[in-house]
Amino acid sequence: GNSVTQMEGPVTLSEEAFLTINCTYTATGYPSLFWYVQYPGEGLQLLLKATKADDKGSNKGFEATYRKETTSFHLEKGSVQVSDSAVYFCALIVKTSYDKVIFGPGTSLSVIP
């Protein structure tokens, strides 16, 4: 079946540290991959996406590369800020007879000054 697995949180980093949040997936066919972010007290919002193998999505200093060979879409940022504290969700859309959406369990990130 189709599924998304993320590294367990919570992740706690100091400001300016390097961030990696792992995401791997299982899917039939060739899914599109997404990272969503949920800041405290706010709704989910799209952070970045990639729709085919080797594509790199980027936004607000975050990057993720669609790796078909390892079925991964790891989120990275070179230098995190306190304002990046949030819950991050990896998600996929796989094309069947319609577009099926599946979210991962989320990874909580806390950045301390």
Q: How far apart are the first and last CA of the chain?
A: 41
Q: With binding defined as CB under 8 A, does residue 35 bind another protein? A: no
| Binding to another protein in span 64-103, by CB under 8 A | 89, 91, 93, 95, 98-103
Nearest-CA neighbor of 62 among 34, 41, 40, 32?
A: 34
Residues shown for the chain = 113
Minimum gap (Å) between residue 37 Cβ and another protein:
11
- Chain residues binding another protein by CB under 8 A are 4, 31-32, 34, 42-46, 49, 51, 89, 91, 93, 95, 98-106
